[in-house]
A and B are shown apart, each in its own frame.
Chain A
Amino acid sequence: MMPRMKACSNEGTRKRTASRSAAMTSQEVVRRASGTLSSDPRSNSLSSRRRCSTVFSDFYYIEYMRNISNIKYIDASYFYQKNLPTKLPTYEAYGYVKKKYKDKDIVIEFIKKISDNHGPKQIIKGLIIPANALVSASKNFKIQELRTIKKGSNVSVTWRDVVYVANKPRIACSIIYSEGILEKIAGSYIVLKKPETIKIYPLPIKNHPLKKPKYYMIPKSFITEVRVIE
């Protein structure tokens, strides 16, 4: 087989090369045939994409996958010692993004299979992040309940976690339940001391992580529920 690098490396992705056409998935072919995607991506207006999403949700997935994206996000961290950082680490990834309109989670595929029609849920290698994990979304995120909770209280926190996926049919983030002492409330995160943390979705329920940490830094934007417990 002759290498096709010359054509591909010198031309942008907007130009349709022969190699790109050959790599087109069967779903894209169906979509073109159904008239939901023109040959020029610039002609796809946002309104038409939204309209498509209500009718052909799987096709909408594919349209997003045409883009290579640079994603900057945050994640929760746990520690076995007291030397905690003053801010959450920032993560950066490149991949093919799948996100339904107004969906809670963003699926980022680092590797995707193109040789057969394996369905939209299979992830070869990638990660799933809550939409609120994006750096822009996590800044200035406020939780009303935290205003009335004092430091040192025993709290339970339910939150959505970033999950790394390899060869699994996942479409949603993990849901985590933590109990512990509210050690700190910072601008973008809280710290739980002596946390008991379990993963409650997907099943089976198990400790997260397996070895119990001393501290857990949880971004506020990940939290779906926080309560004081006796």
Chain B
Amino acid sequence: MKIKSLPKFFPKNKKNNIIVELTILDDKKNKYKCTGVLMKENNSVLRIGFNARNNTVIDYLDVKIKQILDIKMIKSKEIKNLR
């Protein structure tokens, strides 16, 4: 299983956060969903930030692209704000 043409979701000049939701398959064939801020993207890894302190990310996950089954960008109007 390999996703060959992952779209570039990380435009360098964009100021706003890019929120994504991933469906991940691990080595034991368990499926997971995770959501967060797209921080970094290269040929093998996506970095998803979950939690930030004073706007500095303190908790993130590097996801191997070969483990990603599905990815979608979440529009801001679809995000519920709890503040």
A108-119 toward B: CB 8 Å interface, digit per residue (1/0)? Answer: 001111111000
B55-79 toward A: CB 8 Å interface, digit per residue (1/0)? Answer: 1000101000000011111110011
Most buried by B among A67, A72, A91, A135: A91
Contact A70 B81 (CB under 8 A): yes
Please give the distance in Å from B19's CB to the nearest CB on chain A: 6
Q: How far is the CA of A93 from the CA of B55 in the complex (A)?
A: 10
Contact B73 A91 (CB under 8 A): no
Tell me which of B6, B31, B71, B74 contacts A23 (CB under 8 A): B31
Residues of B within 8 A of A228 (CB): none
| Smallest CB gap from A124: residue in B | B32
Contact A89 B54 (CB under 8 A): yes
Residues of A within 8 A of B30 (CB): 113, 115-116
Contact A93 B79 (CB under 8 A): no
Q: How far is the CA of A134 from the CA of B83 in the complex (A)?
A: 5
Contact B52 A92 (CB under 8 A): yes
Q: How far is the CA of A94 from the CA of B32 in the complex (A)?
A: 16
Count of interface residues, chain B, beta-carbon cutoff 8 Å: 41
Contact A97 B80 (CB under 8 A): yes
| Smallest CB gap from B78: residue in A | A13
Residues of B within 8 A of A5 (CB): 3, 6-7, 70-72
Please give the distance in Å from B49's CB to the nearest CB on chain A: 8
Residues of A within 8 A of B49 (CB): 94
Is the interface on chain A under 10, 10 to 19, 20 to 34, or 35 or more residues? 35 or more
Q: How far is the CA of A96 from the CA of B73 in the complex (A)?
A: 15
Contact A127 B80 (CB under 8 A): no
| Smallest CB gap from B60: residue in A | A110
B29-48 toward A: CB 8 Å interface, digit per residue (1/0)? Answer: 11111111100000000000
Please give the distance in Å from A163's CB to the nearest CB on chain B: 13
* Chain B residues at the A interface, C-beta cutoff of 8 Å: 1, 3-7, 19, 21, 23-24, 29-37, 49-55, 59, 61, 69-75, 78-83
* Chain A residues at the B interface, C-beta cutoff of 8 Å: 1, 3-5, 8-9, 12-14, 19, 23, 67-72, 89-97, 106, 110-116, 124-125, 127, 134-136, 164
Interface CB pairs A-B, < 8 A, 23: A4-B69, A5-B6, A5-B70, A5-B72, A9-B71, A9-B73, A23-B23, A68-B19, A68-B21, A70-B81, A72-B81, A89-B54, A90-B53, A92-B52, A95-B50, A96-B35, A110-B36, A110-B50, A110-B51, A115-B29, A115-B31, A124-B32, A134-B83
